[in-house]
Structure 1
């Protein structure tokens, strides 16, 4: 009862009605007229509370493959723990390219330095997923074979031969 007395004393709220009148006066988007968008989504789209600023452009210039290679070789040379190693591997494999054998060699040495055998094996799984065909994967294996033997890193295919596809 007390709540109804307070409402009566203040009078009806006009902000709700004003918002509906403004929304009704706006032309509806084509998707709304076709019934493709829910009315609740239209109310959100018309709201001014969302940011309308344009996306920020990156101030970084595109780097060449040689610069990429040099940067990641340096990153892997400075790795001190497993977290840094895995973070750098995730970043290196996130690009639309396959890291060079010198980057992979630096990553394998870093994995050995921080004593992380599973990650060393997974590096080759990442290469296998990134290359376009088995021939390219074999070239990487041939190039890195002496280092693999030196560091004692075996491939997943050697560990689990029955899972080969």
Structure 2
């Protein structure tokens, strides 16, 4: 038995060893495609179950969510979600958020809502329109603007 192993070793690389070397070489892409190996890159994409919603549906959804707010965490989470979209929430959504801030007694967040609007609008004119439309509610709830609280920073 040991003599046959010595004879195989003395002959040099056998056809068995050559077959293994050939198999270890990189294969062209066409040959690799035939071998189906599961990996993370070939898994099916996750599809969202949500459909595109209109601005009116978005506004109605967030008005409902702000009406259901029971604590500061929910208020701030809903505000973060509402302001994360590539749009400015409607005045009705802002109104619902301000009423929710008053309901949970969160004065700083109420003031910050207007800072969020100022950051989201495209120009000062749009911000002025929001302020004009929400002025009665701001006065009713006693919510000043940051510009009113810190006039030296408003420059």
Q: State which of 128, 134, 144 in structure 1 corresponds to 2:124.
A: 134
Q: State which of 54, 61, 76 in structure 2 corresponds to 1:64.
A: 54
**What are the Cα deviations for residues 90-119 of structure 1, in whole angstroms up to 9, with x where unaligned?**
110111111000000000000000000000
Q: State which of 158, 161, 165 in structure 1 corresponds to 2:148.
A: 158
Q: Which residue of 2 aligns with 1:97?
A: 87
Q: CA RMSD in A?
A: 2.0
The CA distance in 2 between the partners of 1:148 and 1:142, in whole Å, is: 10
The CA distance in 1 between the partners of 2:135 and 2:38, in whole Å, is: 60
Q: State which of 100, 108, 118 in structure 1 corresponds to 2:108.
A: 118
Task: Mark the CA change 1:26 to 1:155 in structure 2 (over 3 Å): closer, same or farther.
Answer: farther
**Structure 2 unaligned spans of 5+:** 1-19, 30-36
Query: What is the TM-score of this pair, normalised by structure 2?
Result: 0.75
The CA distance in 1 between the partners of 2:153 and 2:28, in whole Å, is: 60
1:159 deviation in Å? 0.8
Query: What is the TM-score of this pair, normalised by structure 1?
Result: 0.71
Task: Mark the CA change 1:126 to 1:26 in structure 2 (over 3 Å): closer, same or farther.
Answer: farther
1:48 deviation in Å? 6.6
